[in-house]
Structure 1
Amino acid sequence: MFSKRLFEIMLCLVLGVALLFTVSCAKKQVAVSDATGVKSGVADDSADRAREAERARMMELERAQRLAQQQVEAFQNERIYFDFDRSDLRSEAKVILQKKAEWLRSNTEYRLVVEGHCDERGTNEYNLALGDRRANTTKDYLVALGVDDMRISTISYGEEKPLDPGHSEGAWSQNRRAEFRLSK
């Protein structure tokens, strides 16, 4: 009876040790497919770290793309304005163009189209020519600030694309402008 009891104790100890080794030595669980074919299970730490690093990299890339898009939109949404029947740059326009030139020098992958616009007063031909002078004056200033002239083109819309369709000095002052369109 004593030897049978000793045998049972020894058997339990051996099974316990074997079970302990089996459970404690597993580094990852075996992947098991469920009914949908999707694998489940716990991956080892290095795979988790790699996935987390990739997720962080993708989030940073998305953040950088959103920031770049916001910068492009801000660049394009900031216009410069001209006095009636004039194509020379106002002092506030020069400040805006200095910021734009700095941005363009830092972001050489972008090309720029400068659009010249006029108010409705004057003939179509005159306003197209005035819009052209406004666009070219703007381009020349950017080039003088160090932007490669091959990256900048101009177009005149004359009075054809008013920002404000009104027929007052307030509307006309908004329509005498240069706008900026970026492309890669």
Structure 2
Amino acid sequence: MTLRPLALPTLIATAALLAACSSPVKLDEPKATTPAPVTQGGTGGSTQTPAQSQATPQSRVATVDLERQRREAEAAAAAQAAAAMANLPRVLYFDFDSFLLRAEDKPVLEGYAKALVAQRDRKLSLQGHADERGGREYNLALGQKRAEAVARAMELLGVQAGQVEAVSFGEERPADPASNEAAWAKNRRVEIKDR
């Protein structure tokens, strides 16, 4: 019987809450739809409102013009990027037993990155090399680290990972077969080639 004294206040509170939630304003009544005027043109029997028949050709022309302008701008940027890439050095050199990029290579890397960002379908092979000093496996690993360092630098500049491929030839393809410091300096390199 202790529930009976609480029942009346609960009933009153519920009624007040329901009354507060009701509203005389009707929301989103369906509006009566009237059929749009129909115009018939020639033999096609197409149904368009007068506004559609006037606006559609103009918007189609504007869309076609914008699309054409976009394609032309992309083609011009790609051609400019290709021309810029053609003038960049195709070889980056490294210090003895190192895969750290040199500061003077930064503009070269930026040039390649700019060109590759403009030409997303273009792909490069980054071929790492080492001089003859050191074991075969060591030189393969060093060449790979050099190629990957160039790839990472380009990716940090906006190039997509799928656009560059890092491979190593170690000491197997020397640029200069001599065994002296000048030849070794030429052999510690990454060659940048199209793929």
The 5-angstrom pairing of residues 106-125 of structure 1 reads 106-125=118-137
Partner SS state of residue 93, structure 1: helix
Partner amino acid, structure 2, of 1:153: E
Find out whether 1:130 has 2:142 as its counterpart.
yes
Partner SS state of residue 111, structure 2: helix
**Structure-1 residue corresponding to 2:165:** 153
Is the contact made by 2:85 and 2:112 (CA closer than 8 Å) also made in structure 1? no
1: CA distance, partners of 2:183 / 2:83:
27
In the TM superposition, what is the alpha-carbon distance from 1:93 to its structure 2 partner?
A: 1.7
Tell me the TM-score normalized by structure 1. 0.58
- Please report the RMSD computed on the Cα atoms of aligned residues, expressed in angstroms: 2.1
Query: How high is the sequence identity, in percent, across the aligned residues?
Result: 39
Partner amino acid, structure 2, of 1:152: V
Is the contact made by 1:163 and 1:174 (CA closer than 8 Å) also made in structure 2? yes
The runs of 5 or more residues in structure 2 that have no matched partner are: 1-78
1:25-64: CA deviation from partner (whole Å, max 9, x where unpaired) = xxxxxxxxxxxxxxxxxxxxxxxxxxxxxxxxxxxxxxxx
Return the match for 1:139 from 151, 172, 178. Answer: 151
In the TM superposition, what is the alpha-carbon distance from 1:73 to its structure 2 partner?
A: 4.8
Find out whether 1:175 has 2:187 as its counterpart.
yes
Distance 1:140 1:125, change over 3 A: same
Moved segments of 4+, more than 2 Å: 66-75
Tell me the TM-score normalized by structure 2. 0.55
Aligned residue pairs, count: 117
2: CA distance, partners of 1:93 / 1:104:
17
Partner amino acid, structure 2, of 1:140: R
Is the contact made by 1:72 and 1:182 (CA closer than 8 Å) also made in structure 2? no
Distance 1:88 1:68, change over 3 A: closer
Is the contact made by 2:147 and 2:166 (CA closer than 8 Å) also made in structure 1? yes
Partner SS state of residue 83, structure 1: coil
1:123-148: CA deviation from partner (whole Å, max 9, x where unpaired) = 10000000000000110000000000
**Structure-2 residue corresponding to 1:104:** 116
1: CA distance, partners of 2:90 / 2:123:
16
The runs of 5 or more residues in structure 1 that have no matched partner are: 1-65
In the TM superposition, what is the alpha-carbon distance from 1:95 to its structure 2 partner?
A: 2.0
Task: Say which structure, 1 or 2, has more relative contact order (CA 8 Å, 6+ apart).
Answer: 1
Is the contact made by 1:163 and 1:175 (CA closer than 8 Å) also made in structure 2? yes
